[in-house]
Amino acid sequence: MRFIFKTKYSQDINIAKHNGDRFWYSLLILIMVALPLVLDDFYLGEISYICILSIAGIGLMILSGYTGLASLGHAAFLGVGAYTHAFLLTNGIPFYASIPIVIVVSFLVGAAIGIPILRLTGMYLAIATLALGFIAEHVFIKWEHFTGGNRGLPVPQPEFLGMSFYDSVFFYYVCLVFLIAAMFAAINILRSPTGRAFVAIRDSEIAAQSLGVNLGLYKALSFAISGAFTGLAGALLAHYIGYLAPDIFNIFLSLTLLLLIVVGGMGSLHGTVFGAIFVGFLPQLIAICRDYLPSSIGSQPGLEPMLFGLILVFFILYEPLGIYGRWMKIKLFFELFPTYKRQTFKKQKVFTKSDRV
Amino acid sequence: MQLIQLIIDGVASGCIYGLVALGFVLIYKATETINFAQGDILMLGAFVAYSLIGIIGMDYLTGFALTVLIIAVFGFFLDAVVVRQIIGQPAFATVMLTIGLGFIFRGFASIYWGTDIFSFSTPFSGKITEFNGLIISYVNLSIIVGTAILMSALYFFFTFSKIGVAMRASSENQLAAYYMGIPVKFIFSLIWSISAGVAAVAGVLLAPITLVDTSISLIGLKAFAAAVLGGFGSIPGAIVGGIIIGIVEQLCGTYENYLFEGVREISAYLVLILTLIIYPRGLFSDKAEVKKV
């Protein structure tokens, strides 16, 4: 067990709580930087994809995990980011200028969506975002001038810093840099007054309001920030896919993002990375499952949604804190060994809170 | 004349939306959770009916009744075994849980029945009747009549039967109902089973129109529009909302040229968003159930 003896106020808000943290996270970054020496192109592509998923996960985590607003249509933001980026690149805007524009556009789209549906809470919000996701998918199909419609839109792969995006090592480094930058941005947003206000809204709207948090403003801000992160992920995703078709950004992608944050662990930024690793390797996992099952079941196309649903249900029922929660329990077990008590993480008995007035 | 014809077609498809929305409303009124898997239960109903009528070769009405019974029992245990466990957790958890359940049902259906499109013969298939120049197909007629019968049955059940009154009491106030000796948990499971049964009815009635495959579960999403438009806590509201959505969809499809291309597919969602923004209480809500910021 480690006791941190605090002698300065700044220790409370430091990003790294102690030297152990500093050591392990630096080591992790070093390993990530050195990975291209060991891995071949296929695995680098997979890890780039995981980085992209993590960035999108950070976006959704800020909205759902920290502000407590469910969104079932987050693929729309990925789509906005991806199409804006591809459109700008096609019209000759260089990469370094396009990314900031994408972030600003997604931020504004997030705010534009957030403001009209601010008044909704809980279930109503989930339904509204679900409908918005469908409408967005439809707009991507019908707005052919901008998106190429069902024919799709090829994504130009421009030169950047003298390197091409076709080079998987270079693309990996781009994704990694953006992930680390996004992570730092998210950590800093969340320990600022804005982030504290988000968490306050999640835990109790009434309490937050009485302490002077402007609910409407901060909810819209949460949508906008979430949209900006997800839009950035969308821009990178456009490079990863190479050819945009509107049916990529369907409800299944939105639900995959939700699965990501639930499996990773609601309300933790670590969770986004854990969840992204899980979701990124899920197709491989399913492929392995197929081999072990009898061929009459294993070759069925329905296996994928079924496993998807089973994983979701099992995590909600038995590990609501996700992989990160499980990791905390294991860590605490070794820190407290042999005095770990199972009751530490026991679920509190709660009563249904009524929405009715 | 064309307008009336369109409205009749719209009412028929609207009745289906209304029935699914009715399932949402029943569960929401009682437990304040929303069952996102309602459309998938409808799909299961259609598939079970296909098995009983199309494969085993049962009589249509017997197969219909047996399907509803099977799905209702299924709904009962769905609540008793799975959903009850997360009562009291944030709304988000229920949303995710029922979405996950929906995926399991859809995956199961495509593994067990396959991904082909099926149909089974009903006494209504292919027959039409003419009335003053209006063409009404027997299938549409069966949907409208079936909905009307089901609605009156539910009305009498909730008004006069002891269990129905107990259900209304548990919806109003769980704790008070419990003190009065009503087994609230059992009643909730029963409400889930009624709601699943209603979805199964909708599924079987719908089967001759859309045929049976896994994509019909998407109707559940359009039914949200119906439920929200009707005010989420109101049973007649759900049906009226569904009929309005059905008519709007038909009209948008026909007059697409005057609006914009592809408006039909998203008209239900547009109505949903507009309702939520402009009048989130819905048409029939008896009290303000949506909290405002």
How does pLDDT run across A231-287, given as a tens digit for each residue? 999 999 988 888 888 888 888 888 889 889 888 888 888 889 999 998 888 887 777
Element at B45 (helix H, strand E): helix B38-49
Q: Give helix A41-60 / helix A168-190 axis angle, nearest 10°.
A: 20
Query: Using a CB-CB distance cutoff of 8 angstroms, which residues of chain A are in contact with residue B292?
Result: 119
Size of interface A-B (CB pairs under 8 A): 166
Q: Using one digit for the tens of pLDDT, what is the confidence trace for A58-92?
A: 999 999 889 888 888 899 999 999 999 988 888 87
- A124 close contact with B: CB closer than 8 A: yes
Nearest by CB to B224, from A127, A309, A310: name it. Answer: A127
Across the interface, of B105, B109, B221, the residue whose CB is closest to A130 is B221
Q: What is the ipTM of this complex?
A: 0.82
Beta bridge partner(s), residue B72: none
Say if residue B287's pLDDT is above 60: no
**Residue among A72, A308, A354 minimizing CB distance to B103:** A308
Q: What whole-number distance in Å separates Cα of residue A338 and Cα of residue B206? A: 61
Question: Can you give the pLDDT at residue A354?
Answer: 58
Q: How confident is the model at residue B290 (pLDDT cuts 50, 70, 90)?
A: very low
Question: Pick from A178, A181, A227: which is nearest to A75 by CA?
Answer: A227
For Cα atoms B231, B235, B238, give the angle at the middle one, nearest 5 degrees. 55
Q: Is the pLDDT of residue B288 over 50?
A: no
B92 vs A contacts (CB less than 8 Å): 64, 68, 70, 126, 266
Name the residue ranges covered by the structural domains of chain B: 13-215
pTM of the predicted structure, to 2 decimals: 0.85
Contacts B101 to A, Cβ<8 Å? 309, 313
- Type of residue numbered A327: W
Specify the pLDDT at position B292: 40
CB contact under 8 A, B110 and A312: no
pLDDT tier for residue B283 given thresholds of 50, 70 and 90: confident
- Take residue B104 and report the two structure tokens written for it: 């399991």
Residue whose token pair is 């492929």: A287
Confidence of residue A182 (pLDDT cuts 50, 70, 90): very high
